[in-house]
């Protein structure tokens, strides 16, 4: 069974499961569920006094990720955000010996995209489509590659030497610390889904290999000749600690091509190819060298991987969250919502006193179509609901039988139902929290506030630190939200009856 077939099978199974639950809901709504008989009523309660407010994210922790963004993203509501990529490098071998009279032939920076095979071409090679690439206008940007002079420490001496945290709002700090001359400049760049055929030295032979789509940029040969190759035998290359103090990292800076054009790409830094490779010639054939020309010169390579401290910094147009009852959500240094489904203590006590068997509880959020683009590509496919007091997922998340590690798009679709449309064409997100409500009403669990965010991948439940506007204490959001740049606007609790946010509790009660 090929990858495409597996994907279709996984998605189909998830749809069947979701359809079953949807049918079960329909039965409950009309009061004729399977448990209904002469002694019980199936009922709906949707009058809970909910508090739901938007909060602007002033800064978000961006280090500690295995993938990062680079580029320019334009949101119809939240404006333009430029995202830079900063990373340390690690020597593939410390205290390296480069051979006899090494001369740099080329230097290549590589950042693999996330991509999915979609078929086979006439040569029997995979055809790909790119994942997590967002374009507007011509889908082009300019960008430059710099060496940074900022020391990227791993421990914070001002915080009891706990792991150092790097934030999205440190753009100005790192912009001032890059070298004045770039190692490369690229104009009119747009990501390509075309596979790359590259040279590879394997067992002493020079060969060509086909690779998945990736960004490949040629850097200054002269610079790496002087600052890496000619440093052979020096203290700077003796260890990676020494090297990272000497060559402190790479800063890739994105720039708008025009106000109406841009593209943002997510890169896979867990790939063994993510980094910088120096290709160089030596006079005599070494072990692992490959013949290049008739002048008896031989080609070798040396890799420096992106690792250690890797993070994004953002330059966002000044934006404020409107002070109205709508809910504004955006990934990265964007916005989130804080929700309290049982804010009224008296009402909560009354509900706890009821002799209810809770069958289902859900929150339904309707998209404000007047504020967001009709284009489906600009809308986040998934939202993530979590316990913001304890920085933890809900039990509904953990017990969702549709969890699918291989295909996040079809994962946990009972608890976190993907964006869908009603018969009237309204877009909505339906999030089930039956276990959460049941624990509060029937088990007297503590009522905790909920965080609502967009998500790049609902399978990622690790948390990253953020600071909210007006809040002195930091909170946490799911790390997948950090990587997302999409945003949306949802109706709140004051909208019309058919669009307003409400908690629907379906329950069974003795007559």
Residues 33 and 89 both lie in one domain: no
Residues 16 and 84 both lie in one domain: no
Residues 50 and 176 both lie in one domain: no
Residues 42 and 136 both lie in one domain: no
Any idea which residue has 């090297």 for tokens?
Answer: 243
> Of 316, 349, 373, which one is at a domain's C-terminal end?
316
> Of 298, 316, 334, which one is at a domain's C-terminal end?
316
Is 88 exposed, middle or buried, given 0-12, 13-18 or 19+ CB atoms closer than 10 A?
A: buried
pLDDT, position 27: 37
Residues 355 and 472 both lie in one domain: yes
For 230-290, the DSSP string reads GGTTSGGGTSHHHHHHHS--EEEEEEESSTT-EEEEEEETTSTT-EEEEEEEESSPPTT-E
User: Is 451 within 8 Å of 60 (Cβ atoms)?
Assistant: no
Segments of the chain with pLDDT less than 50: 1-8, 10-11, 15-17, 20-36
Judge whether 400 lies within some domain: yes
Distance CA 384, CA 483 (A): 13
Judge whether 292 lies within some domain: no
Task: Label the pairing between strands 126-131 and 114-120.
Answer: antiparallel
User: Is 314 within 8 Å of 306 (Cβ atoms)?
Assistant: no
How is the chain split among helix, strand and coil, in percent rounded to 5? 15, 40, 40
Q: Which helix (H) or strand (E) holds 434?
A: helix 434-442
Judge whether 225 lies within some domain: yes
Tell me the Ramachandran region of residue 203: left when phi exceeds 0, alpha when psi lies from -120 to 50, beta otherwise: left
Residues 247 and 394 both lie in one domain: no
Please tell me whether residue 419 adopts helix, strand or coil conformation: coil
Judge whether 365 lies within some domain: yes
Judge whether 265 lies within some domain: yes
Residues pairing with 478 in the sheet: 463
Residues 418 and 332 both lie in one domain: yes
pLDDT, position 29: 40
Judge whether 145 lies within some domain: yes
Task: Tell how many helices (H) and how many strands (E) occur in the chain.
Answer: 8, 32
User: Is 136 within 8 Å of 256 (Cβ atoms)?
Assistant: no
Distance CA 151, CA 192 (A): 33
Judge whether 297 lies within some domain: no
Residues pairing with 148 in the sheet: 178
Residues constituting the chain: 511
Q: Which residues contact 135 (CB under 8 A, 6 or more apart)?
A: 190, 262, 263
Distance CA 98, CA 84 (A): 32
Residues 311 and 183 both lie in one domain: yes
Task: Report the candidate in 240, 204, 239, 232 with the shortest Cα–Cα distance to residue 97.
Answer: 232
User: Is 425 within 8 Å of 434 (Cβ atoms)?
Assistant: no
Task: Report the candidate in 284, 261, 84 with the shortest Cα–Cα distance to residue 172.
Answer: 84
Residues 36 and 114 both lie in one domain: no
In angstroms, how far is the first alpha carbon of the chain from the final one? Answer: 53
Residues 417 and 499 both lie in one domain: yes
Please tell me whether residue 394 adopts helix, strand or coil conformation: coil
**Total tally of structural domains belonging to the chain:** 2
Estimate the crossing angle of helix 345-352 against helix 434-442, to 10 degrees.
90
Distance CA 334, CA 457 (A): 17
Task: Report the candidate in 419, 433, 342 with the shortest Cα–Cα distance to residue 385.
Answer: 433
Judge whether 284 lies within some domain: no
Distance CA 469, CA 58 (A): 6
Distance CA 285, CA 52 (A): 69
Q: Which residues of 25-41 are buried (b: 16+ CB within 10 A; e: fewer)?
A: bebbeeeebeeeeeeee
> Of 251, 283, 316, which one is at a domain's C-terminal end?
316
Residues 122 and 35 both lie in one domain: no
Which pTM was predicted? 0.86
Range of the structural domain that residue 222 is part of: 79-98+110-191+213-272+307-316
Residues 252 and 377 both lie in one domain: no
């Amino acid at each position: 069974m090929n990858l495409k077939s597996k994907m279709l099978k996984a998605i189909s199974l998830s749809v069947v499961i979701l359809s079953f639950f949807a049918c079960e809901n329909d039965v409950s709504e009309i009061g004729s569920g399977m448990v209904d008989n002469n002694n019980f009523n199936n009922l709906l309660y949707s009058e809970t006094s909910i508090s739901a407010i938007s909060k602007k994210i002033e800064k978000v922790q961006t280090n500690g990720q295995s993938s990062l963004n680079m580029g320019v993203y334009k949101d119809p509501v939240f404006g333009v955000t430029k995202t830079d990529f900063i990373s340390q490098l690690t020597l593939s071998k410390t205290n390296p010996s480069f051979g006899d009279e090494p001369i740099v032939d080329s230097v290549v920076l590589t950042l693999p995209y996330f991509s999915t095979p979609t078929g086979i071409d006439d040569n029997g090679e995979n055809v790909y489509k790119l994942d997590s690439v967002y374009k507007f206008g011509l889908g082009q940007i300019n960008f430059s590659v710099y060496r940074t002079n900022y020391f990227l420490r791993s421990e914070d001496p001002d915080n009891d030497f706990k792991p150092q945290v790097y934030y999205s709002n440190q753009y100005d700090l790192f912009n001032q610390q890059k070298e004045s001359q770039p190692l490369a400049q690229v104009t009119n760049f747009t990501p390509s889904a075309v596979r790359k055929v590259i040279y590879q030295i394997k067992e002493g032979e020079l060969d060509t290999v086909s690779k998945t789509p990736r960004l490949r940029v040629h850097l200054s040969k002269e610079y790496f000749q002087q600052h890496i190759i000619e440093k052979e035998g020096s203290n700077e290359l003796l260890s990676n600690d020494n090297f990272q103090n000497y060559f402190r990292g790479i800063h890739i800076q994105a720039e708008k091509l025009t106000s109406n054009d841009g593209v943002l790409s997510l890169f896979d830094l867990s790939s063994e190819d993510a980094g910088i490779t120096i290709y160089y010639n030596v006079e005599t054939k070494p072990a692992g060298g490959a013949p290049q020309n008739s002048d008896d010169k031989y080609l070798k390579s040396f890799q420096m991987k992106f690792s250690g401290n890797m993070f994004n910094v953002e330059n966002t147009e000044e934006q404020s969250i409107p002070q109205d009852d709508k809910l504004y959500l955006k990934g990265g240094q964007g916005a989130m919502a804080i929700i309290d489904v049982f804010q009224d203590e008296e009402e909560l006590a009354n509900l706890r006193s009821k002799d209810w068997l809770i069958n289902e509880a859900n929150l339904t959020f309707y998209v404000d179509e007047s504020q967001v683009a009709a284009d489906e590509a600009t809308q986040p496919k998934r939202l993530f609901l979590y316990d913001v007091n304890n920085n933890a997922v809900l039990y509904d998340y953990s017990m969702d039988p549709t969890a699918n590690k291989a295909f996040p798009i079809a994962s946990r679709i009972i608890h976190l139902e993907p964006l869908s449309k009603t018969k009237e064409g309204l877009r909505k997100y339906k999030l089930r929290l039956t276990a959460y409500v049941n624990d509060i009403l029937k088990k007297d669990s503590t009522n905790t506030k909920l965080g609502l965010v967009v998500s790049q991948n609902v399978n990622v439940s690790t948390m990253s630190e953020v600071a909210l506007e007006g809040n002195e204490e930091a909170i946490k959001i799911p790390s997948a939200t950090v990587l997302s740049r999409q945003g949306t606007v949802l109706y709140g609790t004051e909208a019309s009856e058919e669009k307003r946010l409400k908690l629907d509790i379906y329950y069974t009660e003795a007559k």
